[in-house]
Amino acid sequence: MIEQRHEDGSLRHLITLEGLRREEVEQLLQRSQRYVCAPGARPVRSQALRGIQIANLFTEPSTRTRVSFELAGRRLGAEVVNLEVQLSSRAKGESMLDTIYTLQALHFDVFVIRDAEPGVLAHVAGHVSPQVSVLSAGEAHLSHPTQGLLDALTVRQHKGHIEALRIAIVGDLRHSRVARSAYHVFRLLEAHEIRLIAPPALMPEPDEFAGCLRFTTLEEGLEEVDVVMMLRIQKERFSAAALPDGAEYFQRYGLTPDRLARAHPEAIVMHPQPMNRGVEIASEVADGPQSVIRSQVSNGVAVRMAVLETVAARLTA
């Protein structure tokens, strides 16, 4: 596993939540909370990252993650540049590392990378200059650490202590980096119970998600849960032949108001988006009173501000 810390123990990269200590995650969440912006309020701004250059390199599509990393950097006074990597030099055969070396020569300090191939982030982190940080914006099906943090922040805001909670993660668990990072953070914060609910074909391998309870029907799995975390069907990560038909999937695994009624009456509903409405979730639920999907989006900026501020602390000291 890649070493994510500097020699003095401070956080340098954030590629995975695996291996982080509970107090490190708590600190990031506390710092994020300072940047949370109430609806209608003006966002918190500072010049904490003045003079820092951040490059967003995305080789897979993204809306929320890219925009929120960009806003996070700008709200802290950094200069942020977005590169659609498949459209620029990488498409002409230049490797990711060559792109990184070019950007390093232009004095970039932080690289925010999303890539579909496992291992690219650690590879880049292993080759950048000592003062440079690499942050994951989503790596293959493996991890999405800032999403895990924003999910934990959202659950805390709405439900208080994570220790008391039964959390259900529902849907395409097999292909989901969101689910893997959620699992790591909720386990670290000692959730009372984590349930996985999926059709057998979308369940992760038995050696993953240790300690979780597994259910193959929503009706059983949702009984009395406090948090229902829905996942998108990741069509791009399976072969066309293995694709479940949308309408049929919704019949059995779609989150409808009736099914949600099995959960605790004050349960919250989450989704990382983009949503397939009418496939994994009914619009009445996605837009209903128990949905916290929009607070997940605004918390995404706060969490990314906290992460950027943490890794860039040495550069601005």
| Cβ neighbourhood burial of 23 (10 Å; 0-12, 13-18, 19+) | exposed
In the complex, least distance from residue 143 CB atom to ligand ASP, rounded to whole angstroms: 10
Of 177 and 184, nearer to ligand ASP (C-beta) is 177
Q: Using the rule CB under 6 A, which residue among 198, 272, 280, 305 binds ligand ASP?
A: 272
Residue 180 interacts with ligand ASP (CB under 6 A): yes or no = no
- Within positions 273 to 302, which residues make up the interface with ligand ASP, using CB under 6 A? 273
Of 144 and 166, nearer to ligand ASP (C-beta) is 144
In the complex, least distance from residue 170 CB atom to ligand ASP, rounded to whole angstroms: 13
Q: Is 69 in contact with 114 (CB distance < 8 Å)?
A: no
With CB under 6 A as the rule, give the number of residues binding ligand ASP.
Answer: 8
Of 119 and 274, nearer to ligand ASP (C-beta) is 274
- Within positions 76 to 135, which residues make up the interface with ligand ASP, using CB under 6 A? none
- Within positions 191 to 230, which residues make up the interface with ligand ASP, using CB under 6 A? none
Residue nearest to ligand ASP according to CB distances in the complex? 232
In the complex, least distance from residue 138 CB atom to ligand ASP, rounded to whole angstroms: 4
Buried-state track 215-246, b at ≥16 Cβ within 10 A, e below 16: beebeebbeebbbbbbbbbbeeebeeeeebee
Residue 178 interacts with ligand ASP (CB under 6 A): yes or no = yes
Of 100 and 179, nearer to ligand ASP (C-beta) is 179
Of 195 and 232, nearer to ligand ASP (C-beta) is 232
In the complex, least distance from residue 151 CB atom to ligand ASP, rounded to whole angstroms: 11
Residue 144 interacts with ligand ASP (CB under 6 A): yes or no = yes
User: Which residues sit at the interface with ligand ASP, rule CB under 6 A?
Assistant: 138, 144, 177-178, 232, 234, 272-273
